[in-house]
Structure 1
Amino acid sequence: MGHVAFTWLLPAALSAEPDAPARRSTRDWVVDSLCFVIGFGFTVLATLDLLGSHPTLVQEWHPTQSWLVVTDAVLSGIAGIGLWWRRRFPLALGIYCVVLSTFSVAGAFTMFIALLTVAVHCRFVVLAAYVGVAVVANVIFPAVRPEGDSSPLVTVLWGVAIVVIIALWGMVIRARRELVVSLRDRAARAEAEQQLRVEQARALERNRIAREMHDVLAHRISMLSLHAGALEFRPGAPPEEIAGAAAVVRASAHQAMQDLRAVIGVLRAGPDNGDPTPEKPQPTLTALPALVEEARSAGDKVNLEVTADLPEVPAGVGRAAYRIVQEGLTNARKHAHGTIVQVRVGGACGAGLTIEVANPLPVASPGKSLPGTGLGLIGLTERATLAGGRLTHGPIDGEFRLVAHLPWPEP
């Protein structure tokens, strides 16, 4: 408790980061004034006592000439004044005081404060060297100013003990301060890392929203745009065909709105939203035949070949595979409408799952093509990679092929 209380009395420079200059606060002014009063005041009182109140004691302590007492008083007074700058120049003041300690009595408390300042502000190597020099100064002191009947060995031992105790005290204060600074830095780093994780989570959530929006809505909107284009370019078609196309447009728009609500509901759902309604399951490969039938009803020519047991495919792999086929059909509808799309899904447990979507390359670019972001294939590649597989795409032998290989681990 003693060193904790004394630590509170230290100025801000002694309780802040090591070797970092600090602006003198109100507490610093109080502590600096206290140190000055203790150091300089003891010098004045000791000098007056030695020269005035107890002249016989002067002769007993100092058999040499009394001018040494006056010299001690002057030099100790300078050291006491220097206490005002001990935090800025701790080592310089410490060296001055350790030289002074070879003969000074009046500057004892000033030297103690300077030693504590060196212990708090300087590195251990510097402090160890300083303590060694202080021990040597204590050995010299009894020879310069013997203390009556006291044994020089006792004087040296007491002096060394005091030096070591103050040095250890300063090391404890410095270690405690560095611990506080380290904890503060760790807290700051933890907060910064938390902010970074929050930003990363936000970025991942944005990517998730974009990916889900693209995967769910691009398929519906492409069919809607296709039938709306048919109505635009065939205004003289029979009423039955126009009515059928309009019905498909209406149904596709309605389904797109339903899908949009479902996606937003999934993205908003979470453990803290207070909604007890479970999330709508995302489609897996078991919904693949329905996806193909929907594309056929919209006028696409799709051949589906399945050689895998779709219900046995893991849910995560099945969702990625479903999105890959959905995006492949959407791209074929956009860029090669009217061609036959081959969809092949095969594989087995332990051997992996293979998805292939292929369509002939268009002979000529259409006059108007459906707009696209160009990010669908990038998103599919990311999905396949996150699922632990790989995806390739590009023209091969007059066809555009989208091939994905996904893992199908054994249970």
Structure 2
Amino acid sequence: MPTPSSYQPALTRWSSFWRYLGALAISAVATATYVEVDLGDTLKWRLWVDASLGLVSLLLVHRRRKNPLFVGVVTGLLASFSASAAGPATLAAVSVATSRRWTPIVAVGMANLVGAHVFLWYLSVPDEIPLWINGVINVVAISAIMGWGMFIGSRRELLWTLRDRAERAEAERDLRSDKARGDERARIAREMHDVLAHRISQVSMHAGALAFREDLSAAQMRSSAGVIQEQANLALTDLRAVLGVLRDPGTGELLSKPQPGFGDIEELIDEARLAGMSVEYAVSLPAEAQLPERVGRTLYRIVQEGLTNARKHAAGTTVFVQISADPEQGIDFVMRNPLGFGTSPAPGSRLGLIGLTERTELIGGELEHRKDGSMFVLHGWIPWST
């Protein structure tokens, strides 16, 4: 709930000018009553009292926003003996009413009502109009003044609320846009890691073989060099696609390319075998069952990262890949390989398994990695439908 101070507009020179001009106009109309009433010899000193109290009221009303209740009550009571104080008292009353708080509104309204009744007695107006009629007129007039102030306050709050909602909507839109860009870049980064880590690990392995093995024939060296060239070219192609999306997110070059899925896992394993890895692959899938595209792509990336890690950290060992899929039970997968010896010559970011865990959790699955005796185990579960 906004406070009155939050939606009160700042007073400019023009807004202050027309407010004071309106107050002076009300004071001028009220002061004209002295001309119509025969006050005899008391007219002169009464005019001096009226003008003095009116000036005090005008000075007080300048602080109506800092002390609204005090200024409203005092100017209303000063109007008991000064017609020229009627304008500042009206301005102060309207200002108090814009807060739409009943306690100050009632207090200022009663002060103005008392001031109006006392002023009629002080002016010594002939008793031509019954007292109760004057009372009704005063109540109606003061109620109208306070009602007008409440209407202004309600309108100010409405405008403030609409402006605040628009600003918050723009801020939330910018936040959503920034988050979407961040999520997209994170997705691209995961894809880049999954793709390039696999390619570069093969380049590193074959380059290492060329560097340390002296028994390779010329044909074997040419074959290894060809594999290095092919994997390097594929890595450059994937990297160019990723960088193209980062430079111009509107192109969607990488995301528009056909993404690998469950059916490409066998090709991935065959590629690893051709590169010299020993892989045992077993899959259990109901006949004519087709995995959702997103699930298949996640499985592909998990197997790809598992093979990459095994190639880097446990070269020469056998990797066991088992996938069991069922529409009701979901997909359970296990990758196991013996722990390697020594340190991998290929640098690692240590973020691959973290990225796979995030990717798996995003579709409602679970992924864990652990050491089980002399084996490294990557085990996870993914729901059939995400």
State the partner residue of 2:21: 34
Task: After TM superposition, list the pairs within 5 Å mapping 1:103-252 onto structure 2.
Answer: 103-121=81-99, 123-148=101-126, 149-252=128-231
The offset of 1:177, in angstroms, is: 0.8
Aligned in 2, Cα 1:162/1:286: closer, same or farther, shift over 3 Å?
same
Of 38, 58, 65, the residue aligned with 1:57 is 38
The offset of 1:152, in angstroms, is: 1.2
State the partner residue of 1:7: none
CA deviations over 1:281-303 (Å, ceiling 9, x no partner): 21111111101000000000101
The 2-side partners of 1:263 and 1:110 are apart by 70
The 2-side partners of 1:250 and 1:376 are apart by 24
Q: Is 1:386 aligned to 2:362, yes or no?
A: yes
The offset of 1:85, in angstroms, is: 3.8
CA deviations over 1:183-213 (Å, ceiling 9, x no partner): 2222221222122222212221221121000
Amino acid at match of 1:252: Q
RMSD over aligned CA atoms reads: 3.1
Match of 1:237, SS state, is: coil
Amino acid at match of 2:39: V
The offset of 1:179, in angstroms, is: 1.2
Match of 1:345, SS state, is: strand
TM-score (norm 1): 0.82
Match of 1:400, SS state, is: strand
- The answer to whether the Cα contact below 8 Å between 1:16 and 1:177 also exists between their aligned partners in 2 is no
TM-score (norm 2): 0.87
Aligned in 2, Cα 1:352/1:25: closer, same or farther, shift over 3 Å?
same
Aligned in 2, Cα 1:262/1:345: closer, same or farther, shift over 3 Å?
farther
State the partner residue of 1:8: none
Aligned in 2, Cα 1:268/1:400: closer, same or farther, shift over 3 Å?
same
Q: Is 1:400 aligned to 2:373, yes or no?
A: no
Runs of at least 5 residues in structure 2 that lack an aligned partner in the other structure: none
Q: Which moved more, 1:387-396 or 1:248-257?
A: 248-257
State the partner residue of 2:257: 280
The 2-side partners of 1:274 and 1:346 are apart by 34
Aligned in 2, Cα 1:39/1:137: closer, same or farther, shift over 3 Å?
closer
- Identity percentage of aligned residues: 38
Q: Is 1:78 aligned to 2:56, yes or no?
A: yes
Runs of at least 5 residues in structure 1 that lack an aligned partner in the other structure: 1-14
- The answer to whether the Cα contact below 8 Å between 1:224 and 1:252 also exists between their aligned partners in 2 is yes
- The answer to whether the Cα contact below 8 Å between 2:28 and 2:84 also exists between their aligned partners in 1 is no
The offset of 1:144, in angstroms, is: 4.3
Match of 2:260, SS state, is: coil
Match of 1:107, SS state, is: helix
In the comparison of the two structures, how many residue pairs are matched? 381
Of 333, 339, 348, the residue aligned with 1:355 is 333
Aligned in 2, Cα 1:113/1:274: closer, same or farther, shift over 3 Å?
same
The offset of 1:333, in angstroms, is: 0.3
- The answer to whether the Cα contact below 8 Å between 2:55 and 2:85 also exists between their aligned partners in 1 is yes
